[in-house]
Amino acid sequence: WITEHRFKLDELTNNLSLRDENRKRLYQLKCFSNDINVKQALLNTLKEKILDNDRFDLIQQVLQEFQEELRVKTNELEEFV
């Protein structure tokens, strides 16, 4: 999921053109951000049920890194629009 959405994030932020298109891209970026928040909430719920959570920490770290990258690019696009 993260790899696929990182590709989409790059695609959305690298192909800036018309103002309406930028608004659509900004909306999609915000949808990604909301989706990440939902996934993190689910991960936190699952964490309580996972005894051996070494892999959980790795997944959580990767999600947090992607969320930060998404936040930065969304802010840049908001300034551009």
Per-residue pLDDT tens digits for 14-55: 665 556 677 777 778 888 788 888 888 888 787 776 655 567
1 C-beta neighbours (distance < 10 Å), count: 10
Domain annotation covers residue 57: yes
Domain annotation covers residue 9: no
DSSP element (H, E) containing 11: helix 2-14
Helix 54-80 vs helix 2-14: crossing angle, to nearest 10? 10
pLDDT at 81: 67
- pTM across the whole model: 0.48
pLDDT at 1: 66
pLDDT at 6: 73
Distances (CA, A) of 72 to 10, 18, 52, 58: 12, 21, 32, 21
Beta strands (DSSP E) in the chain are none
Domain annotation covers residue 49: yes
pLDDT at 20: 65
Number of structural domains (the chain) is 1
pLDDT at 4: 75
Domain annotation covers residue 11: no
The domain containing residue 70 runs over which residues?
A: 19-80
Domain annotation covers residue 10: no
